[in-house]
Amino acid sequence: MSLNVGDSFPSTVFSYVPYAAESTGVTACGNPIPYDTSKKFQGKKVVIVAVPGAFTPTCTANHIPPYLSQVEKFKAAGVDQVIVLSANDPFVNNAWGKALNGIKEDNFVIFASDPNAKFSQSIDRSLDLTDKGLGIRTSRYAIVVDNNKVVYNEQEPGSDVSVSSAETVLSKL
C-alpha cells in the first residue's frame, strides 16, 4: 500500500518511552507504552520524521538535531507533536533521544519505535540493510498528518537529508 497526500493516515501502533523525572539519565529507562495513531492523531497536527537508525552518523549529526533546535518554530506552525521514528526498539530510541537532549517533560518530541519496520514496510518506506547486518529498517522520510489526513509525505531519494529535513518540513506547514 502506498500512502499519498490526501489519504487518511492508517491506524497503527508505535511504542515509545515517555519522559519520566526519575529516569532522565541516558542509562535509565522507563517502560514503553503504545502510541495509537487512530486516537492520538484526531484533531492534531503531527510530524513524523523517520530515520534508518538511532545513533547512526547522518541521523544523529545532521537529520534530527535541527528538529530539536527548532521545536518552537514547529509549535508556532501549529504542530502538536513531532515523532522521530525508527525500527530500533523503544529503549534504544529513548536512550538516543536523551543523548540528543530531545526527551522533554512535555513529550512534544517523542522517539518512537516502528517494530521490525512493519508500518514503514506497509507504506513502501522501508530500507533493506540485511547485507550490512542491520535487517529491514525505516527509510529516511517525513510525513505531516493534520487531523488524521496526510498533507505531506516525502521519502529521501538518496542518502542526503533534503525532503525530510526540518527546514523543508517547516516550509510545508
Supply the pLDDT for residue 27: 78
Residue 101 sits in which domain range? 13-172
Q: Give the tens place of pLDDT for each residue, 132-147.
A: 888 899 999 999 999 9
Residue 152 domain-assigned (yes or no): yes
Task: Report the C-alpha gap between 28 and 94 in whole angstroms.
Answer: 9
Domain of 32: which CATH number? 3.40.30.10
Question: Which entry of 3, 50, 51, 59 is annotated as an active-site residue?
Answer: 59
Residue 44 domain-assigned (yes or no): yes
Residue 46 domain-assigned (yes or no): yes
Residue 104 domain-assigned (yes or no): yes
List the beta strands (DSSP E) in 24-168: 33-36, 45-50, 81-86, 109-113, 126-129, 135-138, 141-146, 149-155
Q: Could you confirm whether 29 is annotated as catalytic?
A: no
Task: Report the C-alpha gap between 91 and 15 in whole angstroms.
Answer: 10
Residue 63 domain-assigned (yes or no): yes
- Flag whether the pTM goes above 0.85: yes
Residue 159 banded pLDDT, cuts 50, 70, 90: confident
Domain count, the chain: 1
Strands 141-146 and 135-138: unpaired
